[in-house]
Each structure stands twice: as C-alpha cells, then as structure tokens.
Structure 1
Amino acid sequence: MAHKKEHLPEKICPVCGLPFTWRKKWEKDWDNVKYCSERCRRNKKMKTTK
C-alpha cells in the first residue's frame, strides 16, 4: 500500500538554501537536523548567500 507524502515537515538547508523534507531516519532527532545532506554538513563553513 502506497503512502502519500504530502504533509511531511520541511526545513531549509542553511548551506545550499534548498528545502528538504522529513525522513524516517531523522524521526527521533528531527528538531536537531539542520542540513539536507552529509555533503552540506561537511561544507557548513562555506555558507552561500542567495
């Protein structure tokens, strides 16, 4: 049975500026998730201003 993913929480990545949505692996730690990917987390010192 397929599930609709219309109402998932969303955040904006401070490094790349792109929106990203909640993922199952972040279920217990969603409040502390700041970056959309490991790559952005590693490059957090290179913030881009858009």
Structure 2
Amino acid sequence: MAHRKPHLPTKTCEGCGRPFSWRRKWALVWSEVKWCSDRCRRSKARAPGTTAGGRHSPSAPAAVVRG
C-alpha cells in the first residue's frame, strides 16, 4: 500500500491550472518548473481559446467560413 506524502510542496500548472506536487526528478530545478506534464508544456504555444486537442472551447467564438 502506498503511503501519502502531505509534506511535499505543490505548484499550480501554467498550462491547465491544476495543482501538482514535487517530484524527485525536479529536485534541482523545482524553482524553474512551471508545467505539470509534457503535454501542458507543449500546449503553452497554442492559441488562446483552444483546448489541448486543438478544438475551440465553448466560450471562444467559432470562425465562420462562407464561400
């Protein structure tokens, strides 16, 4: 059975806004860590109003193409 680690520091991910905990592999660079995962890190350059899958969020206006 795994034990809980309530004493670990946490941060909020800049990509998804969710909290994440310290990991041993981040021990030397914890002050520089901004994202909880590679997926959030890669999505930092996506356009505002889109989700990780590249689709527009419901609050973003949809582009209308008429032709």
Place the TM-score, normalised by the shorter chain, in its bin.
0.7 to 0.9
> With structure 1 as the length reference, what TM-score do the two structures score?
0.80
Greater Rg over alpha carbons, structure: 2
Q: How many residue pairs get matched?
A: 47
Q: Relative contact order (C-alpha < 8 Å, sep 6+): which is higher?
A: 1
TM score, norm. by length of structure 2: 0.61
Question: RMSD between aligned alpha carbons?
Answer: 1.8
In structure 1, how many angstroms separate the alpha carbons of the residues matched to 2:5 and 2:45?
32
In the alignment, structure 1 segments of 5+ residues that lack a partner are none
Where do 5+ consecutive residues of structure 2 fail to align? 50-67
Calculate percent identity across the aligned residue pairs. Answer: 55
